[in-house]
Chains A and B, each alone.
Chain A
Amino acid sequence: MPVWQQVYAEINDPNFVLICVAEDTGGEAVAGPIFDAADPTYVQVIDTDHIISSAFNFVNVPSSAWIDEEGRIVRIDEGTYSKIHEFGEGDQTITFGNDVYTPALKDWIANGADSKHVQSAATVTANIRDYTPEQFKADAAFRLGNLFRSHGENDKADQYWEMARALNPDSVNFFRQNLTLTEEGSAGEQFMTFMGEYVAQGKDYYRPLDIE
């Protein structure tokens, strides 16, 4: 999150709003310190019910929507990395992200509708995922599970989280949120297997980053 604060400070435009949304059922206890470490001046939201992912039909984090002054979405659902990140050392180094997203964002803030990075409504609607009745219902089940979890009723919480998973198996968010409760955590063997199958089935968890 510090990198987004840096980007926000560099843009420094009163007509630009940056809203960073933590999709975290663990709430303030887990997401709050990460926000605080960034000393942020942007809008910070801890979205325990994954309302924002649901509103824009996202299946993974980090994803995003660019919204213009009229409320029109001009880009959506791309892997939203503000720079190239590196974890680990030597042969174990993992890199992800890119160095083109932030310049594109800055170009849009500066040039608005004239930016070459603004997409047409047809392109944007093609990039918005369809949402089936089962996926809508999955959201309802997930939130029901969250309510039980927050009241200490973990058996019922598990029951409804599993229902959400079954109704929306493409949600990486639901899968990894569930994994936070396991010993191996959200990035262990189960996650790697899940993502391998996901990709092998030709599914995408972000839309292609169409920025040169």
Chain B
Amino acid sequence: MAENMMAFPELRHPFEKTPIHPTGSTTVLYQGNNITLGETGEGDGLLIRPQDLPRVNGFELKPEGACYQDRCVPLNDTLMAEQNGAQWFNLTAFADLMGQPYVADLDARVWSFAELPAKRENMMLNAMAPDFKISDRQGNVIRMADLKGKKALIVTWSSW
């Protein structure tokens, strides 16, 4: 039965060993995105350049704080660090503050962040579909917002 239920077992994960990123770089995984950062700060957490924040998690720095849509998180000395005259945003301190779990492989310099629980609140409380962004097989990017004005059925399946 297993053979009947699982298609193409011989094709599973035949991946060659390849570098995850250029030597010295750091990779951040979030919402299916794979972001390579050429420069990070020193320390135990993950310090990123403030200008990298939007492409990492959609937030951007404004006078009110780190903002996503109409929600802003005030900055403090834990979230912003200065090293050698440069400003850094402490992404792991931000995640801790927001209750956003993450897993890091420090040897490989890869940080994988879970979804921000705050981005799910509207689904959990009001049944509103969560924001997501995903690409179809043709490479078209599909966002939840793109489906507004239409009825949508999203069905998961698998080959296994």
Taking a contact as CB atoms closer than 8 A, the residue among A24, A68, A140 that contacts B114 in the complex is A140
Task: Tell me the minimal C-beta distance from B113 to chain A in angstroms.
Answer: 6
B142, A185: Cβ atoms closer than 8 Å:
no
- For the residues of A in contact with B, the DSSP-based class is mixed
Interface residues, chain A, CB within 8 Å of chain B?
A: 1, 4, 13, 15-26, 28-35, 43-47, 49, 51-56, 58, 61-74, 80, 87-88, 105, 108-109, 112, 121, 124-125, 128, 130-131, 133-134, 136-137, 139-141, 143-144, 147-154, 156, 160, 163, 173, 176-177, 179-181, 184-188, 191
Complex Cα distance, B17 from A45, in Å, reads: 25
Considering the chains assembled together, what is the distance between the CA atoms of A31 and B156 in angstroms? 12
Interchain CB contact under 8 A, B156 and A144: no
Q: Are B137 and A46 in contact, CB atoms less than 8 angstroms apart?
A: yes
A144 contact set on B, CB distance < 8 A: 29, 103, 105, 110, 112
In angstroms, Cα B155 to Cα A16, docked, is 13
A-B contact list, 5 entries, CB within 8 Å: A24-B159, A52-B132, A65-B129, A152-B18, A188-B1
User: Do B2 and A184 touch (CB < 8 A)?
Assistant: yes
In angstroms, how far is the closest chain A Cβ from the Cβ of B116?
A: 9
Distance A73 CA – B129 CA, assembled complex (angstroms): 6
* 9 smallest beta-carbon distances between A and B, as pairs: A152-B17, A137-B101, A185-B2, A136-B114, A187-B5, A186-B160, A144-B112, A124-B127, A121-B127
